[in-house]
Amino acid sequence: MKRMDAIIIAALLFLSLAAFAGIQILGGAGGGKDEPARVFVYVDGELRETVVLNSQVQEIEIRTPYGVNTLIAYPDGVKMKSADCASQTCVHTPKRIYSGGVIACLPHKLLIRLEGRFDGGVDAIAS
């Protein structure tokens, strides 16, 4: 490992962290503290559905021209339950709990995006 390698790796790390910060800021911008957490469902790049998270566990079936996915919206996040595709990549994607988090299902051209914070959800359970 030479000095130039260390410089390159440091630069890459810095850029990754900068991208992370940028996405956090951009992702957080849409959902203020008072806004409820929402899940946006995009198919083919177009907004199909918006789900507001509440204290219930909601199961949402998404039918795309390419296949069917089942999404679960928890009070504190969102996860893909099932997909009728071969890869199952989106099903293995862990639960998204942060604003700006996405779950992508490439074979079905489906994108799930979470926006907002979850204080409301937690409070709703407590009260």
Partner 1 sequence: MEVWTRLRAKSGSTAKDVSELAALLAAALIAGLFERLIPFDFAVPGVKLGLSNAVVLMSLYLLGAGRAFMLAVLKCFAIALVSGDWAAFMYSISGSMMSFFAMLMTKRALGGENGASPIGVSAVGAVFHNIGQLLMAAFILGSLNVMAYLPVLAISGIITGILVGFIVKFALPAVKKARRSARG
Interacting residue with partner 1 among 28, 35, 36, 42 (CB under 8 A): 42
Residue appearing with tokens 């559905």: 49
Per-residue binding string, partner 1, 72-101, x by CB under 8 A, is: ---------------x-xx-xxx-----xx
C-alpha 3/C-alpha 87 separation (Å) is: 41
Where does this chain touch partner 1 (CB under 8 A) — which range of 4-12, 48-56, 72-80, 116-124?
A: 4-12
Q: List, in order, residues 6 or more apart from 106 with CB less than 8 Å away.
A: 87, 89
3-state secondary structure of 125: helix
How far lies 11's CA from each of 21, 23, 72, 109, 120, in Å? Answer: 15, 18, 38, 33, 39
> Is residue 126 near partner 1 by the rule CB under 8 A?
no
Task: Enumerate binding residues for partner 1 (CB under 8 A).
Answer: 1-5, 7-9, 12-13, 15-17, 19-20, 23, 27, 42, 44-46, 87, 89-90, 92-94, 100-102, 104, 106-107, 109-111, 113
